[in-house]
Chain A
């Protein structure tokens, strides 16, 4: 109760360094449509992490599926933390998954920021899908989408 307020008042003091590890878009069939990470040396690990996170994504989707009725929340929240990363998930209505992997040391990103990142990503993704020359199911090769993702990666909190 008090902790939160403390956290808020102290938040201003902390630095603005942000280092996101990567963003991935995964097709309904669970193959990557777009996958990009900043640190190239750990790219492989990133791929493994994102792939493994699909387990939790599926778990969450199916858990939601049981309680039908109200509109599903697209944002799945923190999928699971690891020592080095925090993995967040988001699922569109067409079961395309967005995964954002954030370095654990990055504490400036709150739920809300992650949410808005996902929303931005979703909007851009929708634009890609609206492109009549894009074949749904093909890997995303849109410059605009690339730009949005790059923007998110270099953006400082």
Chain B
């Protein structure tokens, strides 16, 4: 209660319940101080009616002298002046005195109380020993006076008379009596309160129930209920007091609402009177008596009533220490009042309400500031900021109304209005006359001049903004800022306005509120136009021209602004560069051809789909796309897959800008990860070096992540206030098109891309030129590129069908990729002929020419000229980067066995590639790589091409003997997948004319199915001598099954057989032991081996390994060996030995050996081996035969295949065995040991081969072995 400049008449907070004092005033005065002090000391519990919670209250009282006038008259409802308790004081202790005067006085007192129906009284009798001493004579027992009084007045109400003993003495007795007195007083007071307030409330309620009756007046009722509030306030029951006002508030509100709904109460008429005074709330007085009187008289306006009601509520709330509720309620009240006036259709001078609200806001704020310290205020900005903003708002509209915001200043009309408004404010209230910053002064000053208004308005705005910022309500702050900007614009200060607008715009853009964006942007455009910031203005205009929130007319207007500037004649060199995104959107880019990779010089077109955002069609002088060129250093292998994906079908779709999605904010458009696989391959053999996954848009993702965490400015989007001026990079290569007209909506524009130099072209920027204005798209994203390559001519040969079979004519396809080379007329391919692979030129050979797109362009006959050395193929003229295809028939001659030998020797040293056969792991066929050497017109070097042919056959031979007779067997296996017909199987001997090979084969033609074999057999017949060595050639004709006889192709197989004649025959015989018919197991038998020389020694043999005996007869040493591998026989004694054989026909040598059969049954003879025995010859050292070595080497591959077949027993190539033998030979010769050498298969004929002999079981066979396994 700091601002109580003047004492209100009676109703102050100093009010206390009135207690009247009658009787001995002197006595009372002496006790007053103690009484007034002691009464409130102890709280009392106040039990309440209507179920209200009991309360502890401290009772105070205003003790006044009893006067008849104080007693309430009939019908007077005033509670404040109501005496709640009447006390009669007396210290009479003298019966006479009592009877004489006191009693009479008391009676009078009682009577007047009774007439006014005041039952709340008490008589206090003060006793003191002093008194007693003074009047010793008339002393009556103390009790008697009290008893008398009780008897006279307190009819059955003994408690109405209280004794106070020795009040002025500090004794325990005195204390006790004080306490009981105080307790009594409190109890009586409370009783009185309860009774009187209860009665009052009942009356009040009755009155309220009458509200539907015609004569009911709200104001009257108001006064009644307020009385109750006052009493509660007096009793310091602020909460209860507030409730009374809140109820009044609600009741009134409801009436107003009902009025709005058509239910009119008569008494409301006074509140509907035109508002004449708008001086605002007055919160500095606890009770605004002026207004209260108005209400009492029924003359108050709605604003008066509301103001008064609120001021009371405010006072109580501050008592309750709830200042923030005051601000909250104040805002509500102000809003509400404005609404209510509207609802009641009260006529108000324009601006008057604004004045009232403004003053009220400030008044509330002042009031709050007055009762809170600075720290508290700062911490509770959120409660006061609403009032600040509201006041700002109102001041602004007042300023506008009074012409204080315009550039020119107020007109006379404005001034009149101002005067009217100021008149309604009345005089300043006396409370604030001396305060410099009163709301009244502020408003008056603000309305007095443009400058003052500006100052006040800015103060308020900044204060509000500051507070909003402080509590984090940035949007609200920006809205105030926007309002401020509007003010500045009215004042013509576009620069400041723009700053605020830009800030607001930023927030709208970042949060994607398109309508506010449009609105704010339009304001910005206005500012920028005023400021003459052409570039910015054009940018904003372009943005607005494409803004769908605007009407078409407005859009056209802004578009025209841009076009007008663009079309202004003048210096062409200065161009305004704007962001393209406001003008048009690149939505799609398409390459033709789709693979976006062309050879140099080819036509590559780029089709751009541009969505023009302008409302009218715009003519462009030029549309250009700048290109970044990169030379590929032959690393086309490193082309990532991502590139291929991106130009999938040659089309790149660009994600639509935010304007298409109706203003979705950039922050919501999180780009997805763009991952690419990158493979790094070795340039030499195309093997994978490394592979990786690469994120192509990390820069975007990382940036977004950052910005979201710090909530900084959004990424550069078309919605952004000003796209930073982007410069078109000059100098680079460009895709250009001149004079295009863009229609609103989608446009398709075709550009021709430069493709002279091979390399990668990356489209970087897009630029549209309209007169002086350039629209630039600084980055084309995702990146778009195309490749231009240059290719060397390339000639490839491939089989038409796999596999190519040797020995048969096969078609091969020649493919010539011309690359950058144009085949001219007369160009020819020169194939060097080789005898192993002749080319069959056919006259009907034609070549196809294919375009890069694999379309057939032309077909022409090839002229092929074959000379001895070369085959020349004349090519038809073919343009670059085309494909020329033709087919040729070639034949790979199957190398026939050992014929290679001399050839190889001949070509030794020459750089001539001989076909070599080798086995291929995938196929059982032996493969031959056939190389072709081709001279091409575009190169000075010969092109070497290799074809792999497969030999469809596999052959083996073997020599079979029967005594002296010889047979040759040839085994032919078809290892290909083709079925053949085999015909004219022949075997011939080259050297021995006398020799006759008699075919034992019956069929002339036979089928040789895939993976099947054929055996052919010939008997060798000779006339004179059987030559030691036979050079045989096996030949056959073959053709694929079901083909013409003419298709038969020969197949040759050469082989050599050595040491053909049979030298020895070995005959074995087994004799049973003497006296036995048959051999018996376990008994020794005789084995007789008979070795017979069959032929005369040949010269070679003689020379080779014979020695002359002392008797002149040539002998040779043989070694025999009886070996039984199957353990059928046990050899007793020596199983081997040497014999000396004379080198003459029919020389025989017999050897006896004892053997024992181990089992019974038909047992095969033990094996008898005969070997050449070469005794130790120290002197002879034979150099290794180079031939054999070579031979060995050259044959190793063939041998290997043979061995792979696992058939080593019968067929062994001549060279192989020989060489192995000779190797051993060498080793052994160098040693001092004699050595053994086996005979060739044909040289020893064993008669008893696979012969069997019957062996009987042993005689005593009582032992039976049973083996169970």
Contacts and interface: CB of A to CB of B under 8 A. Distances in A.
Interface of A: 1-4, 6-7, 10, 13-15, 27, 29-32, 43-44, 47-48, 51-52, 54-56, 58-59, 80-83, 104-105, 107, 137-139
B339 A14 contact: no
B657 to A, nearest CB: 15
Interface in B656-707: 661-665, 667-668
Given A81-B332, A137-B664, 15 more contacts: A2-B247, A6-B250, A7-B250, A10-B257, A27-B668, A29-B512, A44-B519, A51-B508, A51-B516, A52-B475, A55-B473, A56-B473, A138-B661, A138-B664, A139-B662
A105 B472 CA distance: 30
A51 B475 contact: yes
A65 to B, nearest CB: 14
B338 A14 contact: no
B473 A3 contact: no
Nearest to B390: A83
A41 to B, nearest CB: 13
Nearest to B474: A55
Nearest to A31: B512
21 contacts: A1-B243, A3-B247, A3-B249, A3-B250, A4-B250, A6-B250, A7-B254, A13-B258, A30-B512, A31-B668, A32-B512, A44-B516, A47-B516, A48-B479, A51-B508, A54-B475, A55-B472, A82-B335, A107-B257, A139-B661, A139-B662
A71 B332 CA distance: 30
B288 to A, nearest CB: 22
A95 to B, nearest CB: 13
A43 B515 contact: yes
B274 interface: no
A13 B513 contact: no
A25 B343 CA distance: 31
Nearest to B382: A59
Contact of A31 (B338, B471, B474, B665): B665
Contacts of A3: 246-247, 249-251, 254
B261 interface: yes
A55 B511 contact: no
Contacts of B512: 29-32
Given A31-B663, A80-B386, A139-B662, A55 B475 contact: yes
A104 B253 CA distance: 14
Contacts of A80: 386
B262 A15 contact: yes
A128 B314 CA distance: 48
B240 to A, nearest CB: 10
A14 B264 CA distance: 11
Contacts of A54: 475, 511
Nearest to B252: A3
B260 interface: yes
B1104 interface: no
Nearest to A15: B261
Given A29-B668, A47-B516, A105 B343 contact: yes
Nearest to B667: A29
B662 to A, nearest CB: 6
Nearest to B357: A83
B549 to A, nearest CB: 9
Contacts of A43: 515
Interface of B is mostly: helix
A7 B258 CA distance: 10
A11 to B, nearest CB: 8
B263 interface: yes
A83 B475 CA distance: 19
Contacts of B250: 3-4, 6-7
Residue of A7, A83, A107, A137 with most partner-chain B CB within 10 A: A83
B367 to A, nearest CB: 20
Interface string B467-482: 0100111111001000
Given A13-B263, A15-B261, A44 B665 contact: no
Nearest to A139: B662
Q: Would you list the 6 A-B pairs with minimal beta carbon distance, nearest first?
A: A3-B250, A31-B512, A14-B261, A55-B473, A15-B261, A3-B247
A3 B245 CA distance: 10
B513 A47 contact: yes
B67 to A, nearest CB: 36
Given A52-B479, A56-B473, A31 B260 contact: no
B331 interface: yes
Interface in B301-351: 331-332, 334-335, 338-339, 342-343
Nearest to A8: B254
Nearest to A54: B475
Given A6-B250, A31-B665, A55-B473, A83 B335 contact: yes
Nearest to A9: B254
A66 to B, nearest CB: 14
A142 B515 CA distance: 21
B515 A47 contact: yes
B660 to A, nearest CB: 12
A50 B1246 CA distance: 118
Contacts of B661: 138-139
Contact of A59 (B473, B662, B667): B473
Contacts of B511: 29-31, 51, 54
Nearest to A47: B515
A10 B258 contact: yes
B533 to A, nearest CB: 25
A14 B257 contact: yes
A83 B338 contact: yes
Contacts of B468: 55
Contacts of A56: 473
B386 to A, nearest CB: 7
Contacts of A48: 479, 516
B261 A13 contact: yes
Given A7-B250, A29-B667, A51-B475, A44 B331 contact: no
B64 to A, nearest CB: 33
A22 to B, nearest CB: 12
Contacts of B251: 3, 6
B261 A105 contact: no
A7 B263 CA distance: 14
A35 to B, nearest CB: 8
A14 B253 CA distance: 12
B664 A31 contact: yes
A109 B663 CA distance: 33
A7 B342 CA distance: 20
Nearest to B332: A81
A104 B339 contact: yes
Contacts of A55: 468, 472-476
B472 A31 contact: no
Given A2-B247, A29-B668, A10 B254 contact: yes
A28 B394 CA distance: 34
Contacts of A82: 335
Contacts of B246: 3
A30 to B, nearest CB: 4
Contact of A104 (B335, B475, B476, B479): B335
Nearest to A103: B339
A137 to B, nearest CB: 6
A51 B519 CA distance: 14
A13 B211 CA distance: 15
A23 B251 CA distance: 31
Given A14-B258, A52-B479, A104-B335, A29 B515 contact: no
Nearest to A82: B335
A83 B360 CA distance: 14
A92 to B, nearest CB: 17
A81 B257 contact: no
A18 to B, nearest CB: 12
Contacts of B668: 27, 29, 31, 137
B511 to A, nearest CB: 4
A1 B474 contact: no
A83 B397 CA distance: 14
A81 B473 CA distance: 15
A7 B251 CA distance: 7
